[in-house]
Each structure stands twice: as C-alpha cells, then as structure tokens.
Structure 1
Amino acid sequence: MYVVMKSLEVEASNGMIRHLRTRHTTEYAEYEKLNQPKPTTSPSLNQPTVSDAFKRREPYSRDSTRWKDITFRIMEVICLDEQPLSVVEDKGFRRLLSCLDPRYDPPGRKYLTDVCLPTLYQTVNTNIDRLLKDSVYISFTSDIWSADACPMSLLSLTAHFIDSDFERHNIVLHCQDFTGSYSAEALVNAFSGMFQSRGIQREKIHAILTDNAKNMQKAMRDADFPGLPCVAHTLQLAVHEGVLSQRSILDITASGRRIVGHFKHSPLAYTRLENVQKQLGQPIKKTPPGCVHSMEQYIKLALAAYAAEHELPCTFTIHQWKLIENMVSILAPFEELTQQISSSTASAADVIPCIRALTRLLEKTVESDHGVKTSKTVLLEAVRRRFADIDTQKLYAIATMLDPRYKDRYFPEDLKPTVRDLFRDVVTAHCHTELPSTSSVEVPGSSRSTDKSPPACSLQAMFAELVEEDTGQTDEEIAIVSQINQYLAEAVMPRSGQPLAYWQANKGRFPALAQAARAYLCSPCTSVDSERLFSTAANVIDDKINRLTSKNAEMFIVIKRNLPFMIET
C-alpha cells in the first residue's frame, strides 16, 4: 500500500512539472534554477602530513617573528614593572609561558641584557630624538642620587619642553653614573657631556632647575647656565627657620618625634592605637616621621584614650595642644602651595603669584596666631628674604606675563612699566620667522597700506619714512606692541584654566606671544621631577636587583620613564 501511494505521489509531481514546462515557461525556469544539483565537494587535498604536524609542535626559531615579538614584550614587562632580569629563569614564570604558548622557549638573563635591553633602549632613544627636534627651547631638572643596595651614584637630566601643538613633554634624557668628587667642576663637565651627547646647543637651554646645594649652584654659575633654584626646597628652608625660631615649638616637635617613634617601633603599641581609633570611629592612618604637622593625624582624644590604659614616652599639655593646632594652621598654606608647585603642570609662571599670595596671607593677623607669633614673623621674614628678587628675575617675570591666568596683575604698580618694557623686548626677540608678515597682522587703528614698498626715491617713500621716524618703530614692532596691548587688556583666565590650551587656541591671534610662551612656560618651578625619577631608581636598584651596571641601570630607568608615553602615542 505504501509503495502504491508513493508512486501516485511521484506521478502527480511529474505531471505538475510537465504542466509548468508547457504552460508556464517563466516559472519553470525559476524552478529549474532552484533545483539544479549541487556540485559534490571532494575531500581536501591540503591535509597536513605527519611530518608537518610534528613540525608545528617544534619550538619557535629564534629568528622567527613570533619568538622576537614575545621576547621583546617580556623585556618591556621587566622594564615597566621593575622586575629583575633573572625572572625569565624563574620556574613559575617559565611555567606560565609554557601554558600560554608551548612553542616559545624563553631566553636567559644574558640574552636580555646583551641584546634586548640595548635594542629597546635604542628604540626609545630614537623617539626621544624625534620629540626633541620639535622643541624651540628646553628646560631641565637635575639631581644626584646614591643607591643603598650597591655603591652607585647617578646624575639625572630630565628635559621639559612644549611642542608646536602646545603639548608639554617631560622626558628623561640621562641617569648616568657619577663617581668621584661632587665638585662644581665635575658637574659642569658632566652636564656638558650630556648636552653634547644629545646634540643640544647652548642656545636651546632655557633654564636648569636644581636643589639649593652650593656645588650645584656654583656649577650653574661657572658654566654660565641659566640656573634656577627649586622653589619647594626654598620654601622648606623658610619653614625650617620658622620652626626653629621658637623654643616652645621645638619642645613640642621633640616630644612629637618621641611619640611617633613609640608607635613606629612597636607593632603592639601601633595595634593598640588602631583599636582605640576604631572604637572612637576615627580613620586609621599611617604614622609619618615625627614633626609638628604630623601630629594633626593623631586626634587628641585617641592619644588621651591610649594614655589612660598604656604608657607613652611623653604627653602634651592643653596649652601645647593649642600651640600644635595654631602651628598647623600657619603651616597649612605651605603644604598646599608645595603640592601645587610640585604638580606636573606647574611652571615658572606660578612662582611670583604664589609667593605674593603666601606673603599677603602671612601678613594678616588672625586669632590662631596666639602663642606662635614669633614663628609666624620669622616665617614671613624668611619668605621675603629668600624670594626678595623674584619680581626682577627675567625667567620668572616673563613666564608670569605669558600665563593668561596672571599677566601683569601680580606685580607691584611701580614695577609694572619696567616689566612691560622687558616683556616687549623678549617677545620681539622670540618672534623671528614665526611672526607673520605685517601685511597679515591687523593693527587696530592703523591704515597702513598692504601694497608693495614704493621706490626708494619717490614721494610715497618719503611719506613712509616720516611716519617711521615719528613712531621710532618698524612695522614688525608695531604689530608686536599691538598684540601685547590686546593680550594684556583682556581679562585673566581663572586659576583653574589651562595656559597651554589657551595658547593653542590663540596662537593665530598672538603669534609672537605664543612663540615666547613655548619658551618660558616650559620651565617647571621645582626639581620634584628628578626626585620622582629617583623613586624609580630605588625600585630598579634594590636588594633583589643589585647586579646591574651603571650603564644598564641608566637604560632601565630611561625606558621605564619614557616608554609609557610612547606606548600611549
């Protein structure tokens, strides 16, 4: 029965197909197209042989691209994460690599030291040279550091400059071995060698910031480098004078060191203090080295509760606690100011406004001065003495004028005309070829013709000569004065504004000023960047990584500090 039904179904289907073929030719063509037999696929002829399958499990050749890529990524990890070179020989690290790619056989420590490290260093150096070519003027910070893990001293040199897009760059150029005497003569020779190795001409050196050490300052004078002292160090010296000036504050500082030392050297005492702070609902904070300002972290109630049950080396009286509060109030602006000028965006333009604001604050008499007036008076005198000449220092004054947040608003009235004259001369000297021709610079109120210069022996030439004699200025100078007047007449930016963003947006309006801004706003006001560099050096050269040569240590540090910026770009 099933066979009969199946045959009837096939016959009916064939009849319908015949009907389509004879009566509906278009539909039959579509049917034929849809029901064409599909080509049969033959088995793949590219099936790997047994030898090929075994070959794909063999380790990578050291000449292969894959092996080189992995190896240099390992070198980057070691430099960026401050790992020892011997990590490639550690069992756990090799097991990890074997899991990720069984065909990769990592090299030994010597290969990384002899091949990978110099190659990566050269790559970074090539990028540094490319960036330096886009610099007009360069400022530098420098410092000396001695390692604890091995007998090694390093002299750093960090470059700070602004490119044509008004982006700030902070690049470590050198961190070289510095042995022997730290004399001014040795420092001059070292700086000259570092500049020469990078091809940096003396004309491009805008300023070199160092600490206040006498040998550094003498080296800057002997080499005739435009040196600047670190403002943060100078402020610290002023604070030191103020704290030492009052006996009661000295006694409190000595007691504070003893209390902090009690908790720092006794884990049991520190644990007890933490428990007291938890019970009182206070935040737990680490104990820094003892000083008046650090006592702010120890709430009076927590210490009193601790002393009620446990012994302390000394305690504070109610009067001393009041002095602590008042001294902390006086020192708070110094801490705030130090943080501001130590930021990566701070420049020499911040010095004059910050010192004037700090001086004015110290001049005011407030209730919290009670008991610490002597310290406050000495602080004010120390700040005035140590920063007595900043208004007349060219680097500081011009940088302040070129910062759209400050301009000439922070100079004394009797000094403003002198600063403006100096400002005009500096801007004129920096415009050079970057300043557009006078025909493209709009001078308000001017009706100068933009036509070609008339013949020397013509009536029109005499008119032009008489006008120039009357003003005493060339067309270029008039254009620069016009830019300066328009720039100074505009309102200043808020202190939260970005000066470099301002100049990027307004370099078309004030081309001469923008060119000078690239030079004078590149200089930082502290040498903090070099100190941060040596935090990296302390991690690179420690008890676990103490077999590096000074040359390899320099390559490590230069890669560590510069490679992240190059990866981002």
Structure 2
Amino acid sequence: MSNAELPSLPCTAYTLQLVVHEGLLSQRSVADAMAVGCKIVGHFKHSALASSRLKDIQLQVNQPARRLQQEVQTRWNSTFYMIQTLIEQKQALGIFVSEYGLTDMLMAHQWTLQEKVISVLGPFEELTRKVSSSDAMAADVIPAVTVLHRFLTRETDEDRGIKAMKGTLAAAVRMQFTDVEENPLYGNAMLLNLRYTNRFFSSTITAANAKEMLKLELLRLPGDKQEDHDLNDPPSRKARSDQPTTSLDSMFEEITDEQASASVGKAAVGSSVELETYLGEATILREDKPLQYWMINKVQFPNLAKVADRYLSALCTSVDSERLFSSVSRKIVHCYFVWI
C-alpha cells in the first residue's frame, strides 16, 4: 500500500491480539497457567489412547464429547477457546487424573485464574469475531475501542479478583489505539456510518475535529459549490431491539443514547447544512446496512454520499482477504490432486 502511495490501516484483529498478549498474557501467573493448559491439551492431542479414555469419561458424566482446543500462537482467540474447553471439561479431566494420572495438571488457584481470564477476554473474543466478519469496515473501529474501554474501566460487583487484569488491558487498549480518533480514515468512516455518526468519540474535542476533517473532504469534491439543499424531512427514527443480545450490545446502545441529544437541534448554516442535517438523523440499528442507507438517501445527501462511497469501502482487518487466499489455495490443491 505504501509503494502504491495509498493510505492504509493496520489489521484491527491483530491489534486486539497485541492488546491481549501485552496486557494480559504477559503476566507471569497467567502465562504459567496457560503453559500448563497447553501441556494438558498437547498430551491428549498426541495420545490416541488418552483421547479415547477422556471421551469415554465425558460420556459417562454427560459432558459434550469434545476434543480440547489447541492454542495457535498467531491467533489469540484460540487461547480463549483452549481455556474455555478446559473449564468445560474440568470434571472429566479430574476423573481422568484420578484414574490414569497426568504429568501436568492445573492447581486449584490456576483453575480460578482461568475462569477470571475467560470473563475478561469474553468481550475481546466477541469484538474480534465482529470486526473479522466480511461486512466489517473501518467505521466499526472507534466504536469498538470506545465500548471496550468502557467495559474495562467500569467497576462492577463481578470485578473481585480481576480488577488488576482489567486495568492492565485498559492501559494496553489506550496504547495500541492511541491515535485512532485522529485518523480521518477511521473518523470520516464512522461519521458516515449512521449506526454511529459522532456519538462514539471519547470527547467533544475529538468529535469536533473529526467533523472539521469531514467538512474539508466535502470542500474537495469537484464541482461542489456547497449550496444549501432542501432538507426539510424530519429525522427518521427507528425502533431499537427490545433486548440486547450481549453486555457489549447494551453498551453500544447506552453510548448512542447518551450522545443522541447532543446531535439534534444544531443550527445548519451555509455550506454545512447537509452535514448538520445528516448528523441530526437518528442512528440506524446495528444490524442494518449503512451502504443500503446511502443507496436510499444519496439524493437527500448527495455530497456526503460521494464521500461515503470512498470511506465505507475500507475493511478494518486482513482476515477476510486471508480467508480468500486460503480458500483459493485449498481449491488449487484439490484440483491438483484430482488432475493427478
């Protein structure tokens, strides 16, 4: 991208991975517990007999007959899934140890630590899945960071024993995503996504700066005289889901509702009438498609629609392209063996 003199963005999924490794897995007690977990999984992976015995025990105690998930160094989510399956099979593993023995086994305090790690990493796993989807875009990054930071800094009754973990991760989030709100590739994209607009900036100052950057983009449009448009239609309000599916979903709606009153009722003057009117619109649901919104409203907001065509095309991770290359390579190998 640099050689082509094109602006580029880092992979958000990889950045989240760095946050987890630097903010949590670098802690000695957590790393030691992870190492023991990896040895347990490795034992069953390399021993068909041990794996068969564990499966029999799982069936006896009415637990899912699942293989233990192996950790993959390049994908932190696999660490999350490894811990998850270990905790799920804790009873079966305990019976296995009592009957057949095991060289490495988690101590009681390490089991407790693993459960705390799972509770802290749950939102990271959820956000990683969402930003890695095929329709995720750069507009999703600032809201994801804002919601994640709120989760990590909000104190709850369930924080007993994990407050330090959350604090360490919050610091890592701030460090890895330090300039995300000043980057126009993120800021303009979020402003032009009606799921979020200007509601997810960390301060009114960064929100105002981002809006000014978007105004500059509008001024650069060829042939644009910045004339006022007839935009007398009232903002369209859409009903939100009655019940958020996850705690992160509730935080997304919470932030949106907090900022809604600040985005309505501003006076639109001169060349900014189109932008101010758009920012006064009610946000669409998170499951709605922002590109479909611009297909419908490009007549109402013609200049913004042109800018949205550029900024809403940027993906926020390299996951989807990697999937494409992997899929193509598998097809090539398959065709090769069929030809042979």
**C-alpha deviation, 1:252, in angstroms:** 0.5
CA–CA distance in 1 between the matches of 2:59 and 2:31? 31
Task: Check if 1:442 corresponds to 2:233.
Answer: no
Task: Check if 1:322 corresponds to 2:112.
Answer: yes
**C-alpha deviation, 1:403, in angstroms:** 0.3
Task: Check if 1:265 corresponds to 2:46.
Answer: yes
Letter in 2 for 1:244: L
Q: Deviations over 1:15-59 (max 9, x none)?
A: xxxxxxxxxxxxxxxxxxxxxxxxxxxxxxxxxxxxxxxxxxxxx
Query: What's 2:94 paired with?
Result: 304
Identify the match of residue 245 of structure 1 among 26, 41, 64.
26
**C-alpha deviation, 1:443, in angstroms:** 6.1
Q: Deviations over 1:130-150 (max 9, x none)?
A: xxxxxxxxxxxxxxxxxxxxx
CA–CA distance in 1 between the matches of 2:60 and 2:94? 13
Unaligned runs of 5+ in 1: 1-207, 209-219, 445-476, 549-569
1:283-298 to 2 correspondences below 5 Å: 283-290=64-71, 291=79, 293-298=81-86
- Secondary structure (helix, strand or coil) at the match of 1:229 reads coil
1:448-459 to 2 correspondences below 5 Å: none
Query: What's 1:256 paired with?
Result: 37
CA–CA distance in 2 between the matches of 1:312 and 1:293? 21
- Secondary structure (helix, strand or coil) at the match of 2:9 reads strand
Task: Check if 1:508 corresponds to 2:299.
Answer: yes
Query: What's 1:235 paired with?
Result: 16
- Secondary structure (helix, strand or coil) at the match of 2:70 reads coil
Task: Please tell me whether the aligned partners of residues 69 and 85 of structure 2 are also in contact (alpha carbons under 8 angstroms).
Answer: no
Q: How many residues get paired?
A: 294
Task: Please tell me whether the aligned partners of residues 399 and 521 of structure 1 are also in contact (alpha carbons under 8 angstroms).
Answer: yes
Letter in 2 for 1:364: R
Query: What's 1:339 paired with?
Result: 129
Q: Deviations over 1:376-399 (max 9, x none)?
A: 332211110110001110110000
Task: Please tell me whether the aligned partners of residues 353 and 410 of structure 1 are also in contact (alpha carbons under 8 angstroms).
Answer: yes
CA–CA distance in 2 between the matches of 1:243 and 1:541? 39
CA–CA distance in 2 between the matches of 1:324 and 1:244? 11
Identify the match of residue 427 of structure 1 among 214, 218, 229.
218
Task: Please tell me whether the aligned partners of residues 219 and 226 of structure 2 are also in contact (alpha carbons under 8 angstroms).
Answer: no
Query: What's 1:524 paired with?
Result: 315
The CA RMSD measured in Å over matched residues stands at: 2.6
CA–CA distance in 1 between the matches of 2:107 and 2:310? 54
**C-alpha deviation, 1:499, in angstroms:** 0.7
**C-alpha deviation, 1:402, in angstroms:** 0.1
- Secondary structure (helix, strand or coil) at the match of 1:297 reads helix
Give the direction of change, closer, same or farther, for the CA distance of 1:443–1:506 in structure 2 (3 Å limit).
closer
Q: Deviations over 1:241-299 (max 9, x none)?
A: 12333211111101000100011111121122122222222222233224464121132
Give the direction of change, closer, same or farther, for the CA distance of 1:338–1:274 in structure 2 (3 Å limit).
same
Task: Please tell me whether the aligned partners of residues 442 and 479 of structure 1 are also in contact (alpha carbons under 8 angstroms).
Answer: no
Query: What's 1:365 paired with?
Result: 155
CA–CA distance in 1 between the matches of 2:226 and 2:189? 25
- Secondary structure (helix, strand or coil) at the match of 1:545 reads helix
Give the direction of change, closer, same or farther, for the CA distance of 1:504–1:395 in structure 2 (3 Å limit).
same
1:453-468 to 2 correspondences below 5 Å: none
Task: Please tell me whether the aligned partners of residues 138 and 189 of structure 2 are also in contact (alpha carbons under 8 angstroms).
Answer: yes
Task: Please tell me whether the aligned partners of residues 19 and 172 of structure 2 are also in contact (alpha carbons under 8 angstroms).
Answer: yes
- Secondary structure (helix, strand or coil) at the match of 1:493 reads coil
**C-alpha deviation, 1:506, in angstroms:** 1.0
Q: Deviations over 1:140-188 (max 9, x none)?
A: xxxxxxxxxxxxxxxxxxxxxxxxxxxxxxxxxxxxxxxxxxxxxxxxx
Task: Please tell me whether the aligned partners of residues 348 and 524 of structure 1 are also in contact (alpha carbons under 8 angstroms).
Answer: yes
Letter in 2 for 1:513: L
CA–CA distance in 1 between the matches of 2:148 and 2:83? 23
CA–CA distance in 2 between the matches of 1:413 and 1:319? 44
Query: What's 2:195 paired with?
Result: 405
Question: Which protein has the bigger strand share?
Answer: 1
Give the direction of change, closer, same or farther, for the CA distance of 1:529–1:293 in structure 2 (3 Å limit).
closer
**C-alpha deviation, 1:368, in angstroms:** 4.6
Letter in 2 for 1:524: L
Task: Please tell me whether the aligned partners of residues 137 and 313 of structure 2 are also in contact (alpha carbons under 8 angstroms).
Answer: yes
Unaligned runs of 5+ in 2: 72-78, 233-267
Task: Please tell me whether the aligned partners of residues 80 and 121 of structure 2 are also in contact (alpha carbons under 8 angstroms).
Answer: no
**C-alpha deviation, 1:483, in angstroms:** 1.3
- Secondary structure (helix, strand or coil) at the match of 2:336 reads coil
CA–CA distance in 1 between the matches of 2:226 and 2:156? 56
1:385-400 to 2 correspondences below 5 Å: 385-400=175-190
Letter in 2 for 1:286: R
Task: Please tell me whether the aligned partners of residues 277 and 302 of structure 1 are also in contact (alpha carbons under 8 angstroms).
Answer: yes
**C-alpha deviation, 1:330, in angstroms:** 0.6
CA–CA distance in 1 between the matches of 2:333 and 2:138? 34
Task: Please tell me whether the aligned partners of residues 231 and 300 of structure 2 are also in contact (alpha carbons under 8 angstroms).
Answer: no
Query: What's 1:134 paired with?
Result: none
**C-alpha deviation, 1:400, in angstroms:** 0.4
Query: What's 1:536 paired with?
Result: 327
Query: What's 1:198 paired with?
Result: none
**C-alpha deviation, 1:223, in angstroms:** 5.0
Give the direction of change, closer, same or farther, for the CA distance of 1:354–1:514 in structure 2 (3 Å limit).
same
CA–CA distance in 2 between the matches of 1:304 and 1:509? 64
Query: What's 1:177 paired with?
Result: none
